[in-house]
Structure 1
Amino acid sequence: MPTLDIRITSMYPSGTQGGTRAYASATMDGCLAIRGIKVVEGGRSGLFVSMPSRKTQDGYKEVCFPVTAEFREQLYQAVLDAYQQAITQVQTPPAQMETAPQEAPQPGQQM
């Protein structure tokens, strides 16, 4: 299986951008990149991954990247894992915030 590098390019809070929660890009083996992958809220299992698509002249959407079922499952799981990791990073305060605040200088003291 190819090596995947997944990057979450933008995230949206619930209630904005329709059901879209994030956009991602995937790079396979450092040589093929897929941009415009969406993490969408909805469906039976909560979050799902939507591959980039476009409308044809007939109005139908055509998937730009047909893939095997095995690779699609690996890609979808990697995108959802990257999204969950990004959510965790956003919700975790930076290490600087976790340290105790320094005491404020007393009047007349130099900083």
Structure 2
Amino acid sequence: MEYGIVVTDVKMKIKDSNGMKAICNIIINGMLSLNDIRVVETREGKLMVAMPSKKMPDGKFKDMANPINAECRRIIEDAVIKEYKRATTLSAELFKLISASNN
């Protein structure tokens, strides 16, 4: 079933520390902002999207937002992973250009 949810913008900061590869904010349908979504690399080397969470006084984490169904999760994950790959590919290409111009 296709839902009327569209990720209309993704703002991403590449982090790459302790398994966290990036953190981002998305805008859904141009009307709703969802902040602090993380791109995490699993032990198997696969990228995973982690929804926003908050550390509670007991040390456990509580989710602040979650997709209600698999289709919504897929739409968000696809948009976030696509932007992560675009940003990291662009960064690698820029690094190559700068390195080549310095030689």
Q: TM-score band, normalised by the shorter chain?
A: 0.7 to 0.9
CA RMSD of aligned residues (A): 2.3
Query: Which residues of 2 match residues 1-111 of structure 1 at below 5 A?
Result: 1-4=4-7, 5-8=9-12, 10-13=13-16, 17-44=17-44, 46-67=46-67, 68-93=69-94
Gaps of 5+ in 1: 102-111
Partner Cα separation in structure 2 for residue 47 and residue 76 of structure 1:
10
Find runs of 4+ consecutive structure 1 residues off by over 4 angstroms. none
Please report how far the alpha carbon of residue 40 of structure 1 lies from its aligned counterpart in structure 2 after TM superposition. Answer: 0.6
Per the normalisation by structure 1, the TM-score is 0.72
Kindly indicate whether structure 1 or structure 2 has the higher relative contact order, using CA contacts under 8 Å at least 6 residues apart: 2
- More off after superposition, 82-91 vs 42-51: 42-51
Provide the secondary structure at the position in 2 that maps to 1:93: helix
Deviation at 1:23, TM superposition (A): 0.7
**Under a length normalisation based on structure 2, what TM-score does the superposition of the two structures give?**
0.76
Q: Secondary structure of the residue that 1:25 maps to in structure 2? A: strand
Percent of aligned positions that are identical: 27
Task: Work out the CA distance in 2 between the residues paired with 1:64 and 1:21.
Answer: 20
Say how many residue pairs are matched.
Answer: 93
